[in-house]
Amino acid sequence: MSLYWRIFLLNASVLVVAVLLLFGPVTVSTPVLLGEALVLLAGLLAMLVANAFLLRLGLAPLQRLTRAMRTADLLRPGRRATAAGRGEIADLTRTFNTMLDRLEAERAASSARVLSAQEAERRRIAQELHDEVGQTLTAVLLQLKIAADHAPEELRPELRQAQETTRGSLDEIRRIARRLRPGVLEELGLHSALRSLASEFSTRGLSVRPRIDPGLPQLDPETELVLYRVAQEGLTNTARHAGASHVDLRLRLLPDGGVGLLVRDDGGGMRGAAEGAGLRGMRERALLVGARLTVRDADGGGTEVRLDTAGGPRSKADAKRSSRSRSEATAP
Helix (H, G, I), strand (E, B) or coil at 26: coil
pLDDT above 90 coverage of the chain, percent = 0
d(CA 202, CA 2): 64
Question: What pLDDT is attached to residue 101?
Answer: 81
List beta partners, residue 261. 251, 307
Q: Report the pLDDT averaged over residues 188-201.
A: 84
d(CA 219, CA 216): 9
| pLDDT of 181 over the 80 cut | no
For the stretch 135-144, contacts whose Cβ atoms lie closer than 8 Å and that sit 24 or more positions apart, written own/partner, are 137/166, 137/169, 137/170, 137/173, 138/170, 140/166, 141/166, 141/167, 141/170
The answer to whether the CB of 270 falls within 8 A of the CB of 237 is no
Mean pLDDT across the chain: 76
Amino acid in position 168: G
Angstrom distances, CA of residue 287 to CA of 77, 294, 315: 9, 12, 14
The answer to whether the CB of 319 falls within 8 A of the CB of 290 is no
Neighbours of 74 (CB within 10 A): 15
For the packed helices 316-330 and 88-128, what is the interaxial angle rounded to 10 degrees? 50
Q: Report the pLDDT averaged over residues 302-314.
A: 76
Q: What is the largest CA-CA distance in the chain?
A: 125
Amino acid in position 234: G
Of 15-29, 183-197, 278-292, 294-308, minimum mean pLDDT range: 15-29
Of 196-205, 268-277, 294-303, minimum mean pLDDT range: 268-277
CB within 8 A of 78, min separation 6: which ones?
Answer: none
pLDDT class of 25 with cuts at 50, 70, 90: low
What is the tens place of the pLDDT at every residue in 97-120? 888 888 877 777 777 677 777 777
Closest by Cα among 114, 53, 87, 143 to 325? 114
Task: List the CATH code of the domain at 189-332.
Answer: 3.30.565.10
Cis, peptide link before residue 332, omega less than 30° from 0: no
Pairing of strands 207-212, 246-253: parallel
Neighbours of 259 (CB within 10 A): 22
How many helical (H) and strand (E) elements, i.e. helices and strands, does the chain have? 11, 5
Closest by Cα among 286, 247, 289 to 266? 247
Q: Where are the domains of the chain?
A: 3-107, 189-332
Q: Report the pLDDT averaged over residues 296-318.
A: 71
Q: Residue 22: phi, psi to the nearest 5?
A: -65, -35
d(CA 281, CA 265): 20
d(CA 111, CA 190): 23
